[in-house]
Amino acid sequence: MSIGGQIAWDDTVLPFQLDASDIRGRVARLDTALERLLSGHRYPAPVEEQVAEAAMLTAMIGQTIKLRWRLSLQIRGDGPLRLIATDYYAPDAAGRPAQVRAYASFDPERLDTGAAGFPQIGKGYFAVTLDQGPDMEPYQGITQIAGAALSDCAEMYFEQSEQLPTRFALSLGRHGDRQSWRAGGVMLQHMPQAAGASPRERESMAEDWSRANLLLDTVEPSELVGPDVQPPDLLLRLFHEESPRVFDPQAVHFGCSCSEDKVRQSLSIYSSRDIATMTTPEGVVTADCQFCGAHYVLDPATLGFGDDGDAR
């Protein structure tokens, strides 16, 4: 794809490579997808911001996975912001959009709504899970919560679990007359060193990585979120001496995989006695999706296992 190509850049992830530096990366913009992801919840400001950052990281990291795979982030801590969970669903066919979703769980009595969100996660872990399908064991890598932002945790994950130096630059927040959410970011990642690289080659690669990071340090928040500066123009502004080359962009939409069948499957482990305790005075069992807010109303007679262990 030509670096001067014109497409609609909102809700896209644009992969690129710096041919002169052996560095790959992504430029991402989330607009409508992020607004839809957050609008179904009434999160306090510090929670909302952390969910937005986690969704951005998920979209940028997930862009590399194969069709039909799923990449998930889970951030758990002992602070009032207890959990952030995200999923990135790769397209089910070439040319189709990827889907992203996210939600958070927090303690409203302990949360300080006037303080930053990241410190309120507390001590815990940052986990990346890759689900390659029903015939494969999921892969999971875990690192501790550390640094000053979720992007710091993601950088540490790649350094420790993948041995890949990685850098994120993110900007996100509410913009415009409608105060709708916009987010943008650049991800840089040093490509794996060739086996048997000489000391001189390793030194040269380290210099390339240092130079690319110094160039990324010059990026302005307004350049990241747009819409005035388009991603190809941003890459040329930042890395024109590094010979940036872009690939086909990936569209990213908000989407959820929940369904009535999946709710029924999750309830199939319970006995009829358990199902009875879940039944409302109106004689139904209800379930809500934490990601999208979908509300399911089910007949308890069609759920769970009988006391003898036979499925109903």
Identify whether 205 is part of a domain. Answer: yes
Residue in this structure with the two tokens 């759920």, named with its chain if needed: 303
Computed over every residue of the chain, the mean pLDDT equals 89
Decide which of 239, 254, 269 is a domain's last residue: 254
Same domain? 238 vs 294:
no
Of these ranges, 29-43, 68-82, 123-137, 192-206, the one predicted with the greatest mean pLDDT is 68-82
As beta bridge partners, residue 127 has 74, 142
Q: What is the pLDDT of residue 1?
A: 41
Same domain? 241 vs 294:
no
Check if the beta carbon of residue 218 is closer than 8 Å to that of residue 169: no
Q: What is the pLDDT of residue 299?
A: 87
Same domain? 82 vs 98:
yes
Structure tokens at 111: 């949360």
User: How far apart are the C-alpha atoms of 36 and 157, rounded to whole Å?
Assistant: 28
Identify whether 32 is part of a domain. Answer: yes
Residue 123 sits at φ, ψ, to 5 deg, of -80, 140
Identify whether 311 is part of a domain. Answer: no
Identify whether 6 is part of a domain. Answer: no
Identify whether 308 is part of a domain. Answer: no
Same domain? 222 vs 269:
no
Polymer length of the chain:
312
Same domain? 228 vs 92:
yes
Measured in whole angstroms, the distance separating CA 176 from the mean position of its chain's CA atoms is: 24
Region 98-113: mean pLDDT is 97
Identify whether 141 is part of a domain. Answer: yes
**DSSP-derived secondary structure for 129-195:** EEE--TTSPPEEEEEE--SSSHHHHHHHHIIIII---EEEEEEEEEETTTTEEEEEEEEEEEPPPPT
Residue 171, pLDDT above cutoff 60: yes
Region 254-265: mean pLDDT is 88
Q: Do strands 23-30 and 180-190 pair parallel, antiparallel, or not at all (unpaired)?
A: antiparallel
Q: What percent of the chain has pLDDT over 70?
A: 93
Residue 234, pLDDT above cutoff 50: yes
Check if the beta carbon of residue 24 is closer than 8 Å to that of residue 191: yes
Structure tokens at 141: 């890598």
Same domain? 248 vs 274:
no
Number of neighbours of residue 197 by Cβ within 10 angstroms? 12
Q: What is the pLDDT of residue 195?
A: 57
ω before 15 within 30° of 0 (cis)?
Answer: no
Identify whether 307 is part of a domain. Answer: no
Burial of residue 241 (CB within 10 Å: 0-12, 13-18, 19+) is: exposed
Same domain? 93 vs 196:
yes
3-state DSSP assignment of residue 139? strand
Question: Which comes out higher in pLDDT, residue 110 or 278?
Answer: 110
Q: Do strands 98-106 and 250-254 pair parallel, antiparallel, or not at all (unpaired)?
A: parallel
3-state DSSP assignment of residue 60? helix
Same domain? 148 vs 250:
yes
Same domain? 148 vs 288:
no
Same domain? 120 vs 246:
yes
Q: Identify which of 153, 157, 71, 161 has the alpha carbon closest to the alpha carbon of residue 118.
A: 153
Region 106-121: mean pLDDT is 97
Identify whether 155 is part of a domain. Answer: yes
Domain coverage including residue 289: 260-302
Report angle CA 66, 72, 75 to the nearest 5 degrees: 155
Same domain? 216 vs 267:
no
Domain of 152, CATH number, reads 3.55.30.10
Question: Which comes out higher in pLDDT, residue 94 or 145?
Answer: 145
Check if the beta carbon of residue 65 is closer than 8 Å to that of residue 116: no
Same domain? 136 vs 114:
yes
Confidence band (pLDDT; 50, 70, 90) for 305? low
Residue 83 sits at φ, ψ, to 5 deg, of -155, 135
The number of distinct structural domains making up the chain is: 2
Residue 252, pLDDT above cutoff 90: yes
Confidence band (pLDDT; 50, 70, 90) for 258? confident
User: How far apart are the C-alpha atoms of 62 and 73, rounded to whole Å?
Assistant: 10
- The string of pLDDT tens digits covering residues 40-72 is 889 999 999 999 999 999 999 999 999 889 999
Decide which of 254, 269, 284 is a domain's last residue: 254
